Amino acid sequence: MHAHTYGKNSRRKAYKATAFILIAALLCTLTALYFAKVGAPLVAEIAEAEIRAQTVAAYVEANANIHKLADFYGDFFEYEKNSEGEITLVRANTAGINSLVVHAQREVQASIDKITSGSIEIPAGAFTGISLIADKGGDISINVSPVGVVDVKINSFYYAEGINQTLHRLVMRITTTVHMLVPLKAQDVTVSMDFVLAEDILLGRVPDSYITGISQDNIFDLLP
């Protein structure tokens, strides 16, 4: 009799243990699915916004350092005019422009390395996927790392400003890709930003083929 009762109790305990394990596994699976569907996208969105903000700040810092070297802004272009004062030829100082690009790449890379050498902090509430508490809780570190190299391009644009007046603008475009590692996901964040390096008003008629409007659809890049 005692043996029969002991056997029933053992089976009952085994059933309870099995049920507990199955329920725990089900809850873990549902939690993982919920996070993958709802939580992970919100975490990735917050992390991307933080990386973009830090990257823009790094660009601004690098641009300030570039502007300290005033000698980079002299003699980038030479203009030839005819007897009537019309500009007939625009000649770029390729060596000077290349020197600027190399210097800009070093400055930007140094600034970017400061933010990609460690991690960014995301509030624990973001992992719930609920926007109302996304900024609550302790911070959790998200690893970031640089991918590839910083791309710097210098563009030269001309805009008609009035009768026989043309605005010549030298623009630096910086593009950087940062690799972001978040739970269940890895993605690249690419940030591009333009900075005006220098501009000048040219007096005298400029050939129409050089002049562009303000829209991006009809801008000519006149650098070689």
> pLDDT for 95-127, tens place per residue?
777 777 888 888 888 887 777 656 677 777 766
Single-letter amino acid, residue 174: I
Single-letter amino acid, residue 208: D
**From 62-71, 127-136, 210-219, the region with the lowest mean pLDDT:** 210-219
Q: Residue 211 — very low, low, confident or very high, per pLDDT cuts 50/70/90? A: very low
Runs of H (alpha helix) within the chain:
2-34, 40-67, 94-116
In the chain, where the domains are located: 2-218
Measured distance CA(66)–CA(28) in Å, rounded: 52
For 46-97, write each residue's pLDDT tens digit.
778 878 888 888 888 888 877 766 554 456 777 777 777 777 777 777 777 7
User: Is 189:51 a contact under the CB 8 Å cutoff?
Assistant: yes
Length of the chain: 224
**From 134-138, 172-176, 185-189, the region with the lowest mean pLDDT:** 134-138
